[in-house]
Amino acid sequence: MRKILVVGAGQSGLQLALGLQQHGYEVTLMSNRTADEIRSGRVMSTQCMFHTALQHERDLGINFWESQAPRIEGLGISVAGPDGSRPIDWVGKLEGYAQSVDQRVKMAGWMETFAQRGGQLVIHGAAVSDLDYFSRSYDLVLVSAGKGELVSMFGRDASRSPYDKPQRALAVAYVHGLGPRPEHPDYDAVRCNLVPGVGEMFVMPTHTLSGRADILFWEGIPGGPLDVFDSIKDPGEHLATTLDLMKRFLPWEYDRADKVELTDAGGTLAGRYAPTVRNPVGRLPSGGLVLGVADVVVANDPLTGQGSNSASKCAASYLASILERGDQPFDAEWMQSTFDRYWETARHVVKWTNAMLAPPPEHVLNLIGAGGQLQPVADRFANAFDNPADLENFFYEPAKTEGYLAEAAGAR
């Protein structure tokens, strides 16, 4: 029986550990927190998982909260005018519903499931020296802890990382009491609000520790009016600031937020990080090798909502590569080819996210605007959140965008 060590208990690490466990591998999982500490801690992310990523969980039978989490059937784009108006406002219908589950709920539940199924769970904040020691006892070491000292083992790939500093300041609040958008009360949708030159706000339904909730998520251009959360430590002040900025820039969202309250004392989060692609193979001081997973090697800004989706897709891709390897050694060549296989999916996310971080060119503005007149355009753009590879066909090149819009208009 091959022995595998997974370091990090997030979406990718736990999904991989549970998948490997089901296929008979002897798996050890290292986490710096217990399940109870995760469950009672601060929110860790925003997450909206689309059909493909959700299917990877279903394939492993670990979609434990699917019946409880809201079914997100649409994705809407609104663009704020300087006078508080909405010159662009539309909703695209998703082909398969999306869902969001608070990672405190999911990761704690998955960790307990892993242990109940006989997995070896080690609660320890791993350093490079720890991995150097442990690696001698395992056939493969996978690093899925995307922060801290371990990331330093994986060098930045400058050719795939155009930004060397954060492009957005992030601020999250989980709330109860958000009212529906009056124009679309009949189904749940993620709402993407664009404030040109200022930033973006995303509003999405989720399932949290106390049941149904909504996530209010600001992405502010550094140095701008939204970049004010770093110094706020009090959760109540964080929410009040979130609402004040909604009132100023997005009055239609503020109008349905007059009764909101935080889901819990840990329901806020703020921070920033530079989107980075790293080399996938890390070398330990003793010469041993480790393979980076998901955010460790491809960390995107959450602007396009791809973090948990990419983590799920990476875990599924790596699982397939490990199973196909059989009894052959997990050497550097295999590690690189395993990452390259995942990169065929990840590269589309990186290209799209980095493009959206920059001011949109005219043809993209035309595309977003067309979603309000042509429902098929709105639907296709919404479903690109599940399959970003489709954007190659209509998003990046002006000629392709114009051709697609002409075709969509002619089909009316």
Q: What is the pLDDT of residues 145-183, one digit of tens each?
A: 867 789 989 999 999 999 999 999 999 999 999 998 887
Domain spanning 72-100+167-271 has what CATH number?
3.30.9.40
Q: Give the span between the Cα atoms of 282 and 103, in whole angstroms.
A: 27
pLDDT at 147: 74
Residues of the chain with pLDDT under 50: none
pLDDT at position 55 is 98
pLDDT score recorded for residue 185: 62
Domain boundaries, the chain: 3-51+102-163+275-357, 72-100+167-271, 362-410
Number of C-beta neighbours around residue 233 at 10 A: 9
pLDDT number for residue 84: 87
Cβ-Cβ contacts under 8 Å for 4 (sequence gap 6 or more): 20, 25, 26, 27, 28, 138, 139, 140, 141, 142, 322
Q: What is the DSSP letter of 94?
A: E
- The per-residue pLDDT of the chain, averaged, comes to 96
163 in Cβ contact with 274 (< 8 Å): yes
Fold of 3-51+102-163+275-357: FAD/NAD(P)-binding domain (3.50.50)
**β-strand pairing of 276-277 with 298-299:** antiparallel
Strand, coil or helix: 170? strand
From the number of C-beta atoms within 10 Å of its C-beta (0-12, 13-18, 19+), residue 228 rates as middle
- Exposure b/e, 303-336, CB count within 10 A at least 16 = b: bbbbbbbbbbbbbbbbbebbeebeeeebeeebbe
According to the model, what pLDDT value does residue 183 have? 76
Q: What is the pLDDT of residue 186?
A: 84
